Each structure stands twice: as C-alpha cells, then as structure tokens.
C-alpha cells in the first residue's frame, strides 16, 4: 500500500470522526487504547489491489468547484438469521465514497484506514454500514449520503468507480453493473 503526499496542515481530530476511528481501533486491538494516537491524513492511496483511490479537487476552467471521489467496495461480514433460529456469518460487499485516508500510529503499531461515506439502500436505510440491496441480481443503492466511518484499508477490495461532482451535476462512473433504485 502506498499513500500519496498530504496537502493539509496538521489538525486535531474530534467529534464523530474520532469516535469512528476509536471504534475501528477497538475492534482490531486487544487491551486498552493509548492516551495519544498520532496520525496523518492523505487524500490518495494505492490499494493492495493496485488501484489508486482517493478524493481530489479537480482543476476547472469554470468558476464552479469540481470534486472527484473514489467509489470503493469493502469486504464485510454480516450476521444472518437462519431458518432454525440461529445465526451465521455471511460475507457481503459494502460500498462507500472515500473522503480521505489516515495513517496512524497506535501504541507503536502503524495502521492505515479509509474514511468513507456509506451508501444507503432498502437493506441499510440509514447507510450505517454501506450494504446494498439486490435488484435483478445487481447490487442496488438509493444514494451515497450515509454515515461517515473509518474502515481498515486492507478491507477495501477494489475501486468500484468514481463520482464526479460539479456544482449541481453528479456523475457516477462504475466498473461493475449497479442500479440506483428510486424510493
């Protein structure tokens, strides 16, 4: 994994972003977290699959700001109830837009995380996990305005496309068949 150079000054992390990072760190770590966590934000990274993902402001001839975010597929597992009343783990892809990457040092160990905005679907109406619903054997989602959360960068399977935003125009270019379902 290669992280591209940062373009922002150091700042203190707080609020929802900090809480999201602490949740991921607690899941991946045994024992208590240290009192200080050092990290550096990056806006582009080369994923383990070799694809370049990230978020960038595009140069434009017009006066409107343009932005391009990578749309990524994240490997995740969900608990599913069985017919017998038990539970089992099932792998399902989750999707989201990359806001930035974080390289952090926690207790002497380095970790890389992606801060993504999850998609909303009829299966995940709040967009907490980025899980799509299925429509004619295709992954389907309503919009990409779900919750922001950190995921381990090694859980990102690949980039699924890019989202280009220019003023009120939004264009999603995908590498896989998707459908956007109207509510």
pLDDT tens for 109-155 read 788 888 888 888 888 888 788 888 887 777 878 777 888 899 888 88
Distance CA 166, CA 156 (A): 26
Distance CA 81, CA 63 (A): 52
Express the helix, strand and coil content of the chain in percent, nearest 5 each: 10, 55, 40
Tell me the pTM.
Answer: 0.75
Q: Which residue has the higher pLDDT, 62 or 25?
A: 25
**Contact, 40 vs 102, CB < 8 A?**
yes
- What is the DSSP code (8-state) at residue 21? H
pLDDT tens for 3-48 read 555 555 656 677 888 888 888 888 777 567 777 777 788 888 888 7
Confidence of residue 2 (pLDDT cuts 50, 70, 90): low
Radius of gyration of the chain (CA): 17
Phi and psi at residue 86, in whole multiples of 5°? -90, -170
Helix or strand (DSSP H, E) at 17: helix 15-28
- Whether 107 shows a pLDDT value over 80: the answer reads no
């Amino acid at each position: 994994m290669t992280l591209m150079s940062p373009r922002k000054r150091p700042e203190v992390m707080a609020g929802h972003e900090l809480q999201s990072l602490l949740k991921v760190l607690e899941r991946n770590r045994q024992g208590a977290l240290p009192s200080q966590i050092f990290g550096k934000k990056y806006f582009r990274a080369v994923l383990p699959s070799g694809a370049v993902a990230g978020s960038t402001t595009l140069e434009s001839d017009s006066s409107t700001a343009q932005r391009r975010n990578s749309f990524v597929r994240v490997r995740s597992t969900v608990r599913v109830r069985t017919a017998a009343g038990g539970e089992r783990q099932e792998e399902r892809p989750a999707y989201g837009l990359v806001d930035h990457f974080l390289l952090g040092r926690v207790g002497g160990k380095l970790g890389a995380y992606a801060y993504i905005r999850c998609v909303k679907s009829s299966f995940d109406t709040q967009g907490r996990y980025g899980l799509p619903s299925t429509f004619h054997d295709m992954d389907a989602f309503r919009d990409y305005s779900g919750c922001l959360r950190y995921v381990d960068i090694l859980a990102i399977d690949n980039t699924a496309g890019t989202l280009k935003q220019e003023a009120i125009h939004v264009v999603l270019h995908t590498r896989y068949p998707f459908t956007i379902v109207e509510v």
